Amino acid sequence: MARRVALLGSLALLMLAARIACAAVDDYAAGILKWREEFDADLRNAGVLALVGRYLVPEGDSTVGSDPLATVALPEGAPERLGVLRRHGQELQLLPTPGTERELQIGEQPASDLIVLSTARGQGVVSYGEVSFSVRPIGADFYALVRDERNPAIAAFKGSTWFAVDPSFRIAARFIPYEKPESIAVPMTHVDSPEHFDSTGAVSFELHGTTLRLRSFVAGTQLLIMFRDRTNGKESYGGGRFLSAPLPQDGATVLDFNKAYNPYCAVNDYAVCAIAPAENHLPVRITAGARYSGHTSRE
């Protein structure tokens, strides 16, 4: 009798442990799904879906307007000759065509007859109704990025597609620091000039019995990892995917491939994205994170 009671007690404990484990898995999956919803919300609000043009800004004067011959061509509804964009080295000015400055805004401020443009992220945005543009440095060059809040791609975007959540792709990793930080020239899509990214070390981890290693880059308060794997071009985006990870603590971090996401190029051809370095091409299939459904701004 005592043996039977002990056996029943052990079985009850096993069932309780199983329920706790299942609850933990369910909580983890719910957290990933919430993160994915927030990712798509951020994507909609980032302005990338509104991109309708990308133009190299050379030294000297460039014309801006809806005239098809303009150096920086704006969508219909903007003035044919909105103004002249003048670049001298890293300094940029906009000289609006007389009369147009009354409808222009720089950020939240009304424009004047001579506008000094900042190229810092979030600044120097020139707006005319639903149309806007900003100039950003990409590598050694400058590009005008044109947005139209009426772009059909905004309404057409139904959200990212994802692999099913798989807890086995949340992996503890060892951070292997380099002797000294490195500045790596990373090629970019659609442009000739690479961007330089700071890299302080690699992450090493095991996936399904295989030891793998990826170069990491520093992105603010996180590590940024650009990688490719054997799902690229078939089940996931051909250009690779990105993954953010916590900065290492005591030589360790966590890679959660369920949060691997597509670069902005996957949803808009006018976006400029970093290309995963050759050393970050994994010889395995990462069936976690973002899939690719082929939707772009030009469809």
Domain-located, residue 286: no
- Domain termination residue (choose one: 154, 174, 198): 154
Domain-located, residue 55: yes
Per-residue pLDDT at 10: 57
Domain-located, residue 19: no
Looking at the structure of the chain, the number of domains it has is: 2
Q: For 115-128, what is the mean pLDDT? A: 91
112-120 contact pairs (CB < 8 A, 24+): 116/91, 116/92, 117/85, 117/92, 117/93, 119/90, 119/92
HEC profile for the chain?
CHHHHHHHHHHHHHHHHHHHHHHHHHHHHHHHHHHHHHHHHHHHHCCHHHEEEEEECCCEEEEEECCCCCCEECCECECCCCEEEEEECCEEEEEECCCHHHCCEECCEECCCCEEECCCCCCCCEEECCEEEEEEEECCEEEEEEEECCCHHHHHCCCCCECCCCHHHEEEEEEEEEEEEEEEEECECCCCCCEEEEEEEEEEEEECCEEEEEEEEEECCEEEEEEECCCECCCECCCCEEEEEECCECCEEEEEHHHCECCHHHCCCCCCCECCCHHHECCCCCCCCECCCCCCCCC
Q: Per-residue pLDDT for 187 more than 60?
A: yes
Per-residue pLDDT at 297: 41
User: Are 177 and 267 in a shared domain?
Assistant: yes
User: Are 133 and 165 in a shared domain?
Assistant: no
- Domain termination residue (choose one: 87, 120, 154): 154
Domain-located, residue 37: no
Q: Per-residue pLDDT for 5 more than 60?
A: no
User: Are 116 and 192 in a shared domain?
Assistant: no
Work out the mean pLDDT of the chain and round it to a whole number: 90
Per-residue pLDDT at 170: 97
Residue-wise pLDDT tens digits, 53-79: 999 999 999 999 999 999 999 998 899
User: Are 182 and 269 in a shared domain?
Assistant: yes
> Taking the model in full, what pTM does it have?
0.84
Domain-located, residue 126: yes
User: Are 89 and 178 in a shared domain?
Assistant: no
- Sorting pLDDT into bands at 50, 70 and 90, what band is 106? confident
Residue-wise pLDDT tens digits, 249-279: 999 999 999 999 999 999 999 999 999 999 9
Q: Look up the domain containing 237 and give its range.
A: 160-280
Domain-located, residue 39: no
Domain-located, residue 69: yes
User: Are 124 and 202 in a shared domain?
Assistant: no
User: Are 73 and 179 in a shared domain?
Assistant: no
Per the listing, tokens 């979030």 go with 122
Per-residue pLDDT at 296: 43
User: Are 244 and 216 in a shared domain?
Assistant: yes
User: Are 174 and 95 in a shared domain?
Assistant: no
User: Are 164 and 272 in a shared domain?
Assistant: yes
Domain-located, residue 260: yes
Which domain CATH number covers 88? 2.60.200.20
